[in-house]
Structure 1
Amino acid sequence: MRITVLTVPDCPNAPVVRERIAAVLDGEQAEVELIEVREEAEAARWQMTGSPTVLVDGVDPFAVAGAPASVSCRLYRDEEGRPGGAPSVEALRQAFAGTGADASAPVEECCVDDRGVLDPIGRAGRGRRAPDERGLRAVHQAVLRHFAATGDAPEPAGLAAAAATAGRTAADVLAELDREDFLTLDDDGRIRAAYPFSAVPTGHRLRLAGGVEAWAMCAIDALGVAAMLQQDVTVTSCDPVDGRPITVTLTDGTARWEPGEAVVFVGQRDQAGPAATVCCDALNFFADPTTAAAWARQHPEVHGRIISQAKALRTAEQTFGPLLAQD
């Protein structure tokens, strides 16, 4: 892990943040570099939005969407909402989690593959696109298109034609997709979820082009629908801690977050099972990093970390973007 601390000359909070970083590392090996930034152009090059700015492997974990580059002082808030000139020890611990600095809060296999790429819906890096064999992809894509067109899951009988292309019944193909965790079935063999969609209400509502409304399984799933369908999508959710509304408007490949400091927490529980039970309720939007950290403290059984808006969008696009591709 490489930690870069960007400060203006003689910043009074530079020694404070360095002491807090040392406290979090507590002897762990990490490269820590202090860089003085004097000019606005240099701040823009580093994407520094005030002094001090902390970068973890080149990324600002405390970034606020739309904040301009600046050589002025930077304000942070601790877990109780109190302002300060440097990130708190707990905030830094959350920022370093999953990079080796904090073994108590790693991003586990459900949420990352062996290259460190997040896979928040549980296939351990194997991806969400069903194989093009035994009718799996044909039926899976038919399910996803039905959700996109209606907001609801199709009945198994409506998938018979897609399954028949492989000489199988819809029930057989759906059962295999369920075993491989591309979707989940209820006790009657009906579709309960087909990531990223849910057939039952969740905390994440989608408004698709043309006015179709649907539910998403989790925050990452919700963000991935626009890339999967190649259309504009509005996501509405709320902070699980204080109930503040959160909206992400995805238009022409750009995202507008309200509030601007919203983040996503990605996590999983130490148990076997499909993503629907292991990961999905631990992948949530939060109105700001403070409430995300508070939720993590309230749920010690969940291992994970806070990720930025950019990381959440990139993960969602990589996970769900290919699902309806025809090649």
Structure 2
Amino acid sequence: MTLGPTNLNLNKACAAVALSPAARAVHRWVLRVFAETGRAPSRADLERKAREHTATSGVDHGAVVAELVDRDVLAVDERGEIRAAYPFSPAPTRHRVTWESGTTVDAMCAVDALGMSAMLGVPVTITSTEPGNDHTVTVHVDRDTARWEPNTAVVFAGQAGDACCPSVDSTCGHINFFTTPDAAHDWAARNPGITGVVLDQDQALAGGIAEFGALLQETGDE
């Protein structure tokens, strides 16, 4: 991950574009399942879908899953079950996202949550908590516009450990909403092992859209 004072690059958009056609189709299927059910597909279902997209190509279905993991658009545990399908988290996080259909999901991080409306094409409501005190931040996002409560809220985008690790391990837990810039700076000062920057509302929303907004666009591969 590359962090700068005015930009955020989590590399998910670039990674998705670089996927093979079969991997790209499986990736979008995983995201759609998550959006429709609020849950990750099982390992068995993931492997079945990968087989469907490699049945006539001679490519081993395991290579498709490995490609998704290598590109870090998915992360799996030691059993092969999905533990991250950015922007969605199978496990509870600080960042709950809801929309009109009644679906509720957890986002991997604050920026992931902010990108969901553009990706899904529907307005969403994000309810999150500030690290250290659990003060609530709510953001109503309609694609490229957002209303923040409180209106002083920001995002701290941080990283701990090796940047080459999967995002679920190195960054996701450290990209959070804060009620004010001062609260974000104070938290960062108390956690010197985490490096990062404070993003204002426009920067954080733009980062989410850039990373996730195009992930479900059809390209004829499916």
> TM-score normalised to the size of structure 2?
0.88
Are residues 148 and 178 of structure 1, via their aligned partners in 2, closer, same or farther at CA, if it must alter by over 3 Å? same
**Cα contact 1:163–1:170 (8 A) shared by 2:** yes
Note the C-alpha offset of 1:239: 1.0
Distance in 2 (CA, whole Å) between partners of 1:252 and 1:133 is 27
Note the C-alpha offset of 1:189: 0.5
**Cα contact 1:132–1:138 (8 A) shared by 2:** no
Residue 139 of structure 1 aligns with an amino acid whose one-letter code is: V
Kindly indicate whether structure 1 or structure 2 has the higher relative contact order, using CA contacts under 8 Å at least 6 residues apart: 2
Residue 118 (structure 1) aligns with: 8
- Equivalent pairs counted in the alignment come to 213
Note the C-alpha offset of 1:251: 3.0
Residue 167 of structure 2 aligns with an amino acid whose one-letter code is: A
Larger radius of gyration: 1
Residue 155 of structure 1 aligns with an amino acid whose one-letter code is: S
Note the C-alpha offset of 1:150: 0.5
Residue 157 (structure 1) aligns with: 44
Are residues 162 and 270 of structure 1, via their aligned partners in 2, closer, same or farther at CA, if it must alter by over 3 Å? closer
Residue 189 (structure 1) aligns with: 80
Q: Could you tell me which of 153, 162, 180 is aligned with 1:262?
A: 153
Q: Could you tell me which of 315, 319, 322 is aligned with 2:207?
A: 315
SS across alignment from 2:192: coil
Are residues 301 and 172 of structure 1, via their aligned partners in 2, closer, same or farther at CA, if it must alter by over 3 Å? same
Q: Could you tell me which of 277, 280, 291 is aligned with 2:169?
A: 277
Are residues 214 and 322 of structure 1, via their aligned partners in 2, closer, same or farther at CA, if it must alter by over 3 Å? same
**Cα contact 2:126–2:140 (8 A) shared by 1:** yes
Determine what percentage of the aligned residue pairs are the same residue.
40
- Equivalences for 1:29-68 in 2 at 5 Å? none
Note the C-alpha offset of 1:133: 1.7
Distance in 2 (CA, whole Å) between partners of 1:304 and 1:291 is 14
Given the alignment of the two structures, is residue 138 of structure 1 paired with residue 29 of structure 2, yes or no? no
Are residues 215 and 257 of structure 1, via their aligned partners in 2, closer, same or farther at CA, if it must alter by over 3 Å? same
**Cα contact 2:54–2:61 (8 A) shared by 1:** no
Are residues 232 and 163 of structure 1, via their aligned partners in 2, closer, same or farther at CA, if it must alter by over 3 Å? farther
Given the alignment of the two structures, is residue 176 of structure 1 paired with residue 63 of structure 2, yes or no? no
Of 265-274 and 145-154, the range deviating more from structure 2: 265-274
**Cα contact 1:250–1:256 (8 A) shared by 2:** yes
Distance in 2 (CA, whole Å) between partners of 1:250 and 1:273 is 30
Residue 256 of structure 1 aligns with an amino acid whose one-letter code is: R
Residue 288 (structure 1) aligns with: 180
Residue 195 (structure 2) aligns with: 303
Residue 86 (structure 1) aligns with: none
Are residues 226 and 163 of structure 1, via their aligned partners in 2, closer, same or farther at CA, if it must alter by over 3 Å? farther
Cα RMSD for the two superposed structures: 2.0
Distance in 1 (CA, whole Å) between partners of 2:121 and 2:15 is 17
SS across alignment from 1:210: coil
Are residues 211 and 300 of structure 1, via their aligned partners in 2, closer, same or farther at CA, if it must alter by over 3 Å? same
**Cα contact 2:115–2:209 (8 A) shared by 1:** yes
Residue 200 (structure 1) aligns with: 91
Distance in 1 (CA, whole Å) between partners of 2:133 and 2:2 is 25
Are residues 259 and 128 of structure 1, via their aligned partners in 2, closer, same or farther at CA, if it must alter by over 3 Å? farther
Distance in 1 (CA, whole Å) between partners of 2:100 and 2:17 is 25
**Cα contact 1:239–1:286 (8 A) shared by 2:** yes
Residue 236 (structure 1) aligns with: 127
Structure 1 residue ranges, 4+ long, deviating more than 3 angstroms after superposition = 167-172
Q: Could you tell me which of 73, 88, 102 is aligned with 1:211?
A: 102
Greater percentage in helix: 2
Which ranges in structure 2 are unaligned for 5 or more consecutive residues?
Answer: none
**Cα contact 1:266–1:283 (8 A) shared by 2:** yes
Residue 81 of structure 2 aligns with an amino acid whose one-letter code is: R
Are residues 297 and 225 of structure 1, via their aligned partners in 2, closer, same or farther at CA, if it must alter by over 3 Å? same
Residue 200 of structure 1 aligns with an amino acid whose one-letter code is: A
Note the C-alpha offset of 1:135: 1.2
